[in-house]
Amino acid sequence: MQNSNSIAVKTSRQVFWERLLNLANTFADVKAAGKSLWVLLQEKVQEFGNSAADIKSKSAFVIKANWKKPEVKKKIGKFALLTIVILIVLVGVRFVLSRPASSNGQQLGATVQNTLTTSIEREFNFKVYDKNKKLADPVKYVITTAQLTNQIIIQGQKATAVAGRNFLIINLKLVNEFNDSLFLNTRNYIRIQPAGTQDKLAPEIHNDTVEVQPLSTKLTRVGLPVDEGTRNFTLFVGELDGEKTEIPISF
């Protein structure tokens, strides 16, 4: 009976390590598998769990019968430690995979390809809000350049314009020369009129309310989809209830 139990434990151990080795080898075939790494991990962890359950069912009576033996307690401790390490690795992989590619806190990132750029370099001063949502000191609102592109980064992911459309991106530099944070909705100060229309369009791509830290400069952007063939635009810049400055731009 003792020999039979020893053989069962050995066989279960071999199955365990074979499953673990298969899990490691599978990482080399992720690209060929045509699946996301996380989906593949989930499948393999399920298989790994099934193997662990099989080990438990086959050798539980052996562990129970020999629980008080030091060598048995030592082996169980090693198994528990290995399980914890594997779980930590898997959680770490998922954390890395789920992190946005951009780490600057902005929703709208850089344009990446097929980009036309035109210089603007126009500066404005607008009174904006403090942390208590009260009208406070002015911020310098500088329109640096405009870009026409078919692909941008939004929340760390590439976004490609649909057929027949491009993205018009307006690059901004916000300067806070005061000792308190200032807050503003950058899209409220600019409207965009494509050539040949009377429509004044609000930016659809933006970073919501932007905080400009004390005594600092923040780079950000606004933009919207436009017709692919349009190369001329007029920017109307100013406060919502104030006068607007017209800025023609061409690509």
The strand pair at 209-212 and 151-154 is best described as unpaired
> Is 21 exposed, middle or buried, given 0-12, 13-18 or 19+ CB atoms closer than 10 A?
exposed
Q: With 70 as the cut, is the pLDDT of residue 70 above it?
A: no
226 and 171 fall within a common domain: yes
Q: With 90 as the cut, is the pLDDT of residue 18 above it?
A: no
The tokens describing 33, both together, are 């598998």
pLDDT at 237: 98
The tokens describing 47, both together, are 């298989």
194 and 225 fall within a common domain: yes
pLDDT at 172: 97
pLDDT at 45: 56
170 and 203 fall within a common domain: yes
pLDDT at 155: 79
69 and 125 fall within a common domain: no
Cβ atoms 237, 205 nearer than 8 A: no
CATH, residue 176? 2.60.40.1240
Query: Who wins on pLDDT, 43 or 101?
Result: 43
Q: With 60 as the cut, is the pLDDT of residue 121 above it?
A: yes
Q: What is the mean pLDDT of residues 193-218?
A: 94
For the ranges 29-43, 98-112, 204-218, the lowest mean pLDDT is seen at 98-112
3-state class percentages of the chain: helix first, strand second, coil last, to nearest 5: 35, 35, 25
114 and 213 fall within a common domain: yes
Q: What is the mean pLDDT of residues 125-142?
A: 95
Quote the CA–CA distance of 141 and 176 in Å, as a whole number.
Answer: 9
pLDDT at 86: 80
User: Is residue 67 classed as helix, strand or coil in its secondary structure?
Assistant: coil
Alpha helices in the chain (DSSP H): 2-26, 30-33, 37-65, 70-98
Q: How many CB atoms lie within 10 A of CB 84?
A: 10
Cβ atoms 222, 203 nearer than 8 A: yes
For the ranges 81-85, 161-165, 187-191, the lowest mean pLDDT is seen at 81-85
The pLDDT tens digits for 44-68 are 556 655 655 555 555 555 555 555 5
pLDDT band at 206 (very low <50, low <70, confident <90, very high): confident
Q: With 80 as the cut, is the pLDDT of residue 102 above it?
A: no
Q: With 70 as the cut, is the pLDDT of residue 99 above it?
A: no
Expressed as residue numbers, the domain containing 245 is 108-250
Task: Choose the final residue of a domain: 78, 98, 118.
Answer: 98
pLDDT at 243: 94
- Asked if residue 168 belongs to a domain, the reply is yes
CB contact burial 1-17 (16+ within 10 A = b; e otherwise): eeeeeeeebeebeeebe
CB contact burial 162-200 (16+ within 10 A = b; e otherwise): eeeebbbbbbbbbbbeeeeebbbbbbbbbbbbbeeeeee
The count of structural domains within the chain is: 2
232 and 132 fall within a common domain: yes
pLDDT at 112: 47
Q: What is the mean pLDDT of residues 109-137?
A: 86
- What percentage of the chain carries pLDDT values higher than 70? 59
81 and 140 fall within a common domain: no
Q: With 80 as the cut, is the pLDDT of residue 117 above it?
A: yes
For the ranges 35-39, 99-103, 189-193, the lowest mean pLDDT is seen at 99-103
Average pLDDT, the chain: 78
Quote the CA–CA distance of 15 and 250 in Å, as a whole number.
Answer: 68
Cβ atoms 18, 11 nearer than 8 A: no
239 and 118 fall within a common domain: yes
Task: Choose the final residue of a domain: 50, 68, 98.
Answer: 98
